[in-house]
Amino acid sequence: MQTMIEKRGGGAPANKLLKRKLYGFTLAEVLITLGVIGIVAAMTLPALINKAQKMILKNQFKKTYSTLTQVINKSVADLGFVPACNYTIKGDPSSVSGVKGNADLSDCIVLNETFLKNLNIIQKCKGNGYQKGCIPKYKGFEEIQKENNPDLSDDEALEAIQGYNGFSSSNILNRNEIFVLADGNILISHNSSFQSNIFAFDINGKKGPNKWGYDVFSFWLGNTGKSGLILLGGTYSVEKGGKTTRQMIKDLYDDRK
């Protein structure tokens, strides 16, 4: 018996039309497609993740820089005068062209106390910060020097960081004063007692990567003689791929233009 389709003008039988409708991709084709997608994802995802992480850290740095600047301004306002706890500088925070002079110790003592009061500190470690759980294990500047210059001896690496050896591994982990803030961020003194004219800050606390130039940055105070105290970025050692604090601040100023 002929089907209605055959009677109305020929064409393929109904069972052949049904087979055409059931036609799809073979298992091999599906596997090949998934393989291509996997290769593309493997090539692009790390770059995307890295870019996202850098953007997150950049925003955290911006927030930290703003918060610390506000704390300094409030401390000066609370004192009613501008303490000479700074280095004399030329230029602005984004492009320092010269540094001279040391901070006045007596003024620093006054500013230090007020500065710390204006931070929301929940934990303090006066020495042995690593053993007491205030900080993760950071690399010291001498370790970074050796990584960047493998031919250096231990003594040569220590000599290379003269002037800022307060951030050597031994000092950071065992000697320096550490403050943990309510938001988890960490303030690291350059000496056994806090000095507001030079310090380091971990902008996301114990959360990684805990690397200099990524989420750990050094700061110091300067004064142009015009605008009072200014939070400046150091150009100290950073781990491979990281940025100095001064570079980070410059990026912030560039974004505003």
* Cα 112 from Cα 196, distance rounded (Å): 5
> Domain for residue 183, yes or no?
yes
In a domain, 227, yes or no: yes
**How far apart are alpha carbons 100 and 102 in whole angstroms?**
7
* Cβ neighbours of residue 51 closer than 8 Å, sequence gap 6 or more: none
Domain limits for position 82: 61-256
Whether residue 69 lies inside any domain: the answer is yes
Instruction: Report the distance separating Cα 215 and Cα 203, nearest Å.
Output: 5
Whether residue 167 lies inside any domain: the answer is yes
101 in a domain, yes or no?
A: yes
4 found inside a domain = no
The 10s digit of each residue's pLDDT in 63-84 is 999 999 999 999 999 999 988 8
More confident residue, 42 or 137: 137
| 172-205 pLDDT, tens digit each | 999 999 999 999 999 999 988 888 888 999 999 9
Element (H, E) at 133: none
Greatest CA span in the chain, whole angstroms? 111
Residue 139 has pLDDT above 50, yes or no: yes
pTM, two decimals, is 0.78
Task: Provide the number of structural domains found in the chain.
Answer: 1
> Is it true that the peptide bond before 150 is cis, omega within 30 degrees of 0?
no
Of 2-6, 79-83, 105-109, 206-210, give the lowest mean pLDDT range: 2-6
Burial of 142-178, coded b for 16+ CB within 10 Å and e otherwise, reads bbbbbeeeeebeeeebbebbeebbbbbbebbbebbbb
User: Is 28 domain-assigned?
Assistant: no
How far does the chain reach from its first CA to its final CA, in angstroms?
83
